[in-house]
Each structure stands twice: as structure tokens, then as C-alpha cells.
Amino acid sequence: MRCIVTDVNERIEKMLERADYLRESIDFLQRFIVKSMQKEAEGYGLTVPQIRVIAEIVKNKTTSIKQLTYNLKMTQSSVSDIVERLIGKGILEKTPNPKDKRSVVITLTKNAEEGINKKDYTHLNQMINGALDQLNADEQEIVLKGMQLLVGVVKEKMKSEGMNYNESFDVMLFPTENNKQ
């Protein structure tokens, strides 16, 4: 009896270690992506928070300070400052909200929208490919298959729990049937 309990405890411990490793690995990869985005953003004279605001507006087409504050989990004063800086750079514009004269609608300028539509993930893809190039072809395939499996089961888990995995900007980077590149 004691042997069975020990075996079960060891299995649980290994599962927890794997979960910790996966969580830490995902966190590390997220930091790599953010650092890569930061490096590219600096080339355009932008900060990561500014990029986050722009991405949220790209996703929703129009928005408000209140909605940006809620969606980005930032303070209203921070969002307002970022929006004002981006307006100053000619990236965003504010117009009166036709439905509520007390508020404004924030959108991309036409020039910014055209520039963003031409933009792709070339820089980020180059960073990732640079890391993958350190592996041989078989190892690269293992990484790809592993990521496909993990993302697939996470999507299924989210679906089974009533979550929409396309809701957030962060997961829009994963190709679906509607946005495969």
C-alpha cells in the first residue's frame, strides 16, 4: 500500500515539475518576443506600451480611452498620455463620438493604417528563425510539432471551459482557419 502512495506522489511531483517547466518556458519565450518587439519599436521611435495601444486600436478599428484602459490593464492617465504622444506623432487621431458628445473616438490616421497594413512580422520571424537555426532540421521539426500539440490542446481546454481564444491580441498571432498566413 505504501509503495502505491509513493508511486502516485512521485507521478504528481513529476507532473508539477513539467507544468512549472512549461510555464517558465512560455514566460521566457514571451519575454524574448517582447524584447524583440521593443528592439524593433525603438527603431520607429516607439515604446512597447505605445505598440500595445496601437495593436489594440488595429484590432478594434475604433476605441476610447476607457476601453483601452480596460483592455490593456493600464491606468487611465497612462493610456491618455500614450494616446496624446501618438497623436503628436501623427499615428492616432481623436474625433468626437457621434453617439456620445462627451467622449471621443480614437482611431489610426490614414497614413498609420496604410503603414501598419504593409507591416509584417519579418523582424520577429527573423529573430525566432535565428534561434531555431541553432538546431538541426529534425530538432526544428520536434519544436514545431511540440508547439502545435501544446497550442492545440490549450485551445481545446479553453473551448471546453467556454473561453474564446481569439479574444486577446496576444493569441491572435496563432494561425486559425480564418487568419492563416
Helices of type H across the chain: 2-43, 48-60, 65-72, 76-88, 110-118, 122-132, 137-160
Residue-wise pLDDT tens digits, 120-164: 667 778 888 999 999 999 999 999 999 999 999 999 998 999 887
Instruction: For residues 139 and 122, give the distance between their C-alpha atoms in angstroms, rounded to a whole number.
Output: 22
pLDDT exceeds 90 at position 30: no
pLDDT score recorded for residue 175: 43
pTM of the model: 0.57
Residue ranges per domain, the chain?
31-119, 135-174
Give percent above pLDDT 90 in the chain: 42
Residue-wise pLDDT tens digits, 87-120: 999 999 999 988 888 889 999 999 888 877 766 6
Q: What is the CATH number of domain 31-119?
A: 1.10.10.10
